[in-house]
Amino acid sequence: MKKYLRWSLRTRYRTFIVKKYLRWLLRVFYLIFFQPTQYTREVEGLHLPLLTPTQRVRKLVKLMPGIIVLTLLGDYIVSLACEAYEIPFSWFGAWHGVTFGLMASLGAAYGTLAHGVAVGVGVGVIVGVLGGVAPTVVAYGEFGLAFTVALCAGHGAGYGVADQLPDGVGSKVRIGPIYILFGIALGALADGLMGAVLSGVAFAAAYAVMYSRLITYLFDVVLAAVTGCIGWLWPGGARRAWRWCPVVWDEIIWLPLPFAGGLLTRLVRQDREEGFRQISFVAAQRPLQRRAARAALVEVALDDLRADSLMRMSNIAERLGWTTDAPVNLPSELEAALPRFDRTAQHVGQYFTLSSPYRRGEALGRAVAEAESLRRSLVAARGPYALRLLQTANEWRRLLDRENEWVKALPAAVREIPNPFIFGPPVGDSEDNVFTGRRDVVRQIEASLLGAAQAPTLLLQGPRRMGKTSILNQLPRLLGPDFAPAIVDCQNPAVTGSEATLLRYLSRALSEGLRRRRVAVEELKAQQLAREPYAVFDEWLEKVEKAMPKGMRALLCLDEYERLQAALAAGWGAPFLDSLRHTFQHRPRVVLMFTGAHTFQELGPAWTDRFISARRMRVSFLNREDVELLLTKPIPEFDMTYAAGALDALVAATNCHPFLTQAVAFELVQLMNEAQRREASAADVEEAVGRALVSGDAYFVNVWGDAGKEGQAVLRALAAGETPPDFPAARAWLREHDVIGTDGDFAVEMMRRWVASRDLKFQI
């Protein structure tokens, strides 16, 4: 009984060992012939120290039983083929071939030219099979040809992908040329010149067939077609069908596989997360089939772009988030179109988010404009997917036009009053219908610049929130094509970082201003200004003058120029101002304009000494006619009206102050929309003024802080109806900044009310 148990245990153990060995052997052969890079990672240790030649030989010895079995199987198949065609086959030679093949494989594994164990297996099998037909081949004097075919076929089968895969896995030295030379030499020895030629031809044919795996390609195509059809006929089975696709288990398929990209696309439709995971796998682990991954991503992108409603269109940006880090490069026409589709979708999303019908209409209008611009660009685009993208853009435009017509068809009672008034930021150059007045300032600028042989340095000065920056934004339209305005915001901390930084910003602003006038001038780089920045900037201005057409001048506007005081405090501001004065005095085609709330006299001799001849243009309140035009017809579709006394009440509260007029008008339109009325009364204006005192509190706080303690005392007394203290300097500052008028009282009624409410808060 004990003997039987021991025998049974030994038998089971041996069976277990044999099964384990067979599983290992089959997996190694599978990896060698179908996934050599995976074989290198798992068996030969890609991320570990590579195997030594001795270790490779040991692994090959472990593979010897499998090599012998494959060799004998190959000999048997060859013998059947030889028998069918009545070709002599020598089994004695076959056994010699097996022995020689084993020795050749050991040599291949030990050397470094044959890629180690992988090619050793191929050489061993094919040379072993060759041994059976060698006597016949030798009889025909073509042993060199046959031996070359065996070697290159072994190389191609064993490691056909070689250095074409990532990181050149397994590629030590390309040995194809060595094979052809070796085969030619053997062929020449066997049969002279004819043998050499035949050996070279045989090498090329055998190497091409085995290296590109043409032998198995037909099978791969059929299997890919079957799996693709399964995925198409049964969309729910795309995931299961993909597992059998040759791309999954064979990494050496050089030629394209039909249906592989389509199957990946259907897999994404079935399971989006798994589909993208498989696309990333193909892109990273199957570089020879990246075309399938790319085709799948393109189809997914086109699917995601399809929209049958505006709500779906608004979610496009979220669905296309994967395109920012796609595993493969998308076609150029798709790369160019996707950001524009995304912007259109974001405008549509804003259309659904906004509560004001007028602002919603603006967002919808921007979406329509973006979609139309996209269509025009796709009409001229080239590429295999341009037409399909254009069809999608046309569908988007139809949806947007349908929504736009529906919005316009709404009854007037349902639509809100459009609110074009600007609360806070300066009026841009595209909002010309909202910008009004300032003809006096424009005339002064025209008189100073247009037609003058030597234009003076200009100072556009006025209190804060009087619209100075808005005037600058209108200069390209007001001055015409003969001037190229360039605006530098000196409030940017980076501007005053160093003299080189400031000069670089000046060159950037000038180059951008000239570019809007179709004059191409490259801005200065930081490296150019590292040494002798003033000399480099002066030479650059000379190039600017030469690049400008005859009669054109550049206008450099330094907005909020008072911030340059930081440069004076840092020590490099004085040389900068000297260079600025000198440069613009000697370059009549480049004009300098300062814009700020202070005069040069207020900033001190550092400014008055250098710009003593500068022409000052003051910006103050608007006139009554301009304000009435702004309030009654800021844009063509504005349909709010004013009851008797309402306009007078608004003008009385703001005294035509640009910022406060816009603020009160903005609040008044909001109030009318809330009340669903279109005619504003004096009481409505009064309520809007109260709202503006709260929403515009930052402006009043800024004026209060700039007035100083003496100025605050004067304002407090005026608000209380008392005689103000005698502070001549403070009163002069308040008059200069339009806080009080020439009569000594508040220039703006809203300022009086704010100061009075402030003192009331402190008393409480």
| Token couple for 305 | 């772009």
Confidence of residue 618 (pLDDT cuts 50, 70, 90): confident
**Which contiguous run of DSSP H or E holds residue 458?**
strand 458-461
Give the span between the Cα atoms of 83 and 478, in whole angstroms. Answer: 98
- Cα 474 from chain centre: 32
Helix (H) or strand (E) holding 484: strand 483-489
Contact 478, 557 (CB under 8 A): no
Contacts of 486 (CB under 8 A, 6+ apart): 509, 510, 512, 513, 514, 554, 555, 556, 557
The contacts of residue 361 (CB under 8 Å, 6+ apart) are: 407, 418
* Ranges 228-237, 352-361, 583-592, 742-751: which has the least confidence: 352-361
The string of pLDDT tens digits covering residues 391-440 is 999 999 999 999 888 877 766 555 677 888 876 555 544 444 455 556 77
Q: What are the φ and ψ backbone dihedral angles of 702, each rounded to 5 degrees?
A: -65, -45
pLDDT for 177 equals 55
Domain for residue 93, yes or no? Answer: yes
Q: Examine the domain organization and report whether 15 and 155 are in the same domain.
A: yes
Residue pointed to by tokens 């001849």: 613
Taking only Cα atoms into account, the Rg of the chain, rounded to an integer number of angstroms, comes to 42
Length of the chain: 764
Torsion of the alpha carbons at 486, 492, 493 and 499, rounded to the nearest 10: 0
Quick one: pLDDT at residue 451? 60
- Judge whether 627 and 610 are in contact, CB under 8 Å: no
Looking at the predicted structure, is the pLDDT value of residue 211 above 70? no
Whether 617 has a pLDDT exceeding 80, the answer reads: yes
- Name the domain boundary from 288, 317, 332: 288
The tens digit of pLDDT for each residue in 627-647 reads 888 888 888 778 889 999 999
Give the whole-number percent of the chain exceeding pLDDT 70.
71
Which residue type is seen at 127? V
Instruction: Tell me which of 354-363, 486-495, 687-696, 738-747 is least confident.
Output: 354-363
Distance in angstroms (rounded) separating the CA atoms of residues 594 and 560:
8
**Residues of the chain with pLDDT > 90: what percent?**
11
383: left (phi over 0), alpha (psi -120 to 50) or beta: left
Query: What is the structure's pLDDT at 394?
Result: 92
Nearest to 378 by CA among 418, 326, 331: 331
Rounded-to-integer distance, Cα 115 and Cα 173, Å: 8
User: Encoding tokens for residue 572?
Assistant: 């490099």
Q: Is residue 301 part of a domain?
A: no
Residue written as token pair 């814009």: 595
Q: 118, 148, 120: which is closest to 34 by C-alpha?
A: 118
Domain that holds residue 671: 624-695
Is the pLDDT at 136 greater than 50? The verdict is no
Q: Given this model, what pLDDT does residue 422 score?
A: 75
For residue 243, pLDDT beyond 80: yes
CB pairs under 8 A, 24+ apart, for 298-304? 298/330, 298/331, 298/334, 298/385, 299/261, 299/262, 299/265, 300/265, 300/268, 300/275, 301/330, 301/334, 301/338, 302/385, 302/388, 302/389, 302/392, 303/265, 303/269
- pLDDT tens for residues 51-74? 666 776 777 677 777 767 766 676
The 3-state DSSP composition of the chain as helix, strand, coil percent (nearest 5) reads 70, 5, 25
Lowest mean pLDDT among 36-40, 557-561, 600-604: 36-40
Phi, psi at 382, each rounded to 5°: -115, 155
Is the predicted pLDDT of residue 241 greater than 70, yes or no? yes
Comparing C-alpha atoms, which of 82, 77, 199 is closest to residue 147? Answer: 199
- The answer to whether position 427 is within a domain reads no
DSSP class per residue in 546-600 = HHSPTT-EEEEEEETGGGGHHHHHHT-HHHHHHHHHHHHHS-TTEEEEEEESS-H
Per-residue pLDDT, 463? 87
User: Which pLDDT score, from 0 to 100, does residue 98 have?
Assistant: 59
Q: Pick the last residue of a domain from 661, 679, 695.
A: 695
Task: Provide the pLDDT for residue 143.
Answer: 42
Q: What is the four-CA torsion angle of 368, 374, 377, 382, rounded to 10 degrees?
A: -150
Residue-averaged pLDDT of the chain: 77
Is the pLDDT score of 721 beyond 50? yes
Q: Is the pLDDT of residue 269 over 60?
A: yes
Same domain, residue pair 25 and 124: yes
**Is 742 contained in some domain?**
yes
691 and 708, same domain (yes or no): no
Domains in the chain, number: 6
Residue 443 sits in a domain of what CATH number?
Answer: 3.40.50.300
Give the count of beta carbons closer than 10 Å to the beta carbon of residue 751.
Answer: 25
DSSP 1: -
What mean pLDDT do residues 327-351 have?
87
Segment holding 114, helix H or strand E:
none
Residue 597 and residue 685 share a domain: no
Quick one: tokens of 459? 């100072």
Short-list 264, 263, 265, 258, CA closest to 221: 258
Token look-up 């049974």 returns: 8
DSSP alpha helix (H) spans, 354-491: 357-379, 386-408, 439-449, 468-479
On whether both 202 and 103 belong to a single domain, the answer is yes
Per the domain annotation, does 602 fall within a domain? yes
**Ordered DSSP codes for 2-17:** HHHHHHHHHHHHHHHH
Q: What is the SS3 assignment for 344? A: helix
pLDDT, one tens digit per residue, over 433-479 is 455 556 777 777 777 776 666 678 888 888 887 878 777 777 777 67
Is the pTM higher than 0.85?
A: no
Domain identity same for 169 and 42: yes
| Residue 176 maps to a domain | yes
The DSSP symbol for 416 reads P
pLDDT of residue 503 exceeding 70, the answer is yes
Same domain? For 607 and 628 the reply is: no
Tokens of 311: 């709500």
Query: Is 296 strand, coil or helix?
Result: helix
319/301 Cα distance (integer angstroms)? 9
In a domain, 499, yes or no: yes
User: Residue range 215-221: average pLDDT?
Assistant: 80
Whether 356 and 252 map to the same domain: the answer is no
pLDDT tens-digit map of 368-395: 999 999 999 898 888 888 999 999 999 9
Asked if the model's pLDDT at residue 258 lies above 50, the reply is: yes
**Residues 562 and 614 both lie in one domain:** yes
What confidence score (pLDDT) does residue 450 get?
Answer: 65
Q: What value, to the nearest 5°, has the Cα angle with vertex 703 and ends 429 and 485?
A: 25
- Identify the pLDDT of residue 170: 38
Q: Which one is predicted more confidently, 665 or 217?
A: 665
Same domain, 687 and 709: no
- 77 & 200 share domain: yes
- Reduced to 3 states (helix: H, G, I; strand: E, B; else coil), residue 459 is strand
489, β-bridge pairs: 559
Question: What is the rounded distance in angstroms from the CA atom of residue 692 to the CA atom of residue 423?
Answer: 10
Burial 155-190 (b: 16+ CB within 10 A, else e): bbbbbbbbeebeeebbeeeebbeebbebbbebbbeb
Residue 431 belongs to some domain of the structure: no
In this prediction, residue 592 carries a pLDDT of 87
Q: How far is CA 111 from CA 42, 121, 159, in A?
A: 20, 13, 15
Residue 616 to residues 332, 354, 486, 557, Cα–Cα distance (Å): 53, 44, 19, 14
Question: Is residue 716 helix, strand or coil?
Answer: helix
Same domain, 512 and 651: no
- For residue 764, the model assigns a pLDDT of 39
Q: What is the pLDDT of residues 662-679, one digit of tens each?
A: 899 999 998 998 888 889
pLDDT of residue 686: 94
Query: What is the model's pLDDT at position 431?
Result: 44
pLDDT digits (tens, 9 = 90+) for 144-182: 444 444 444 444 444 443 333 333 333 433 444 555 555
Gap between the Cα atoms of 488 and 472, Å rounded: 10
| Cα separation, 526 vs 65, whole angstroms | 70
Considering only CA atoms, which of 362, 353, 359 is closest in space to residue 310?
A: 353
Residue found by looking up tokens 């709330």 in the block: 597
Gap between the Cα atoms of 731 and 708, Å rounded = 11
In the chain, what is the straight-line distance between the N-terminal and C-terminal CA atoms, in Å? 109
At residue 555, what are phi and psi to the nearest 5 degrees?
Answer: -115, 110
What are the beta bridge partners of residue 558?
Answer: 488, 594
Q: For 559, how many CA atoms within 13 A lie in the half-sphere containing its CB?
A: 19
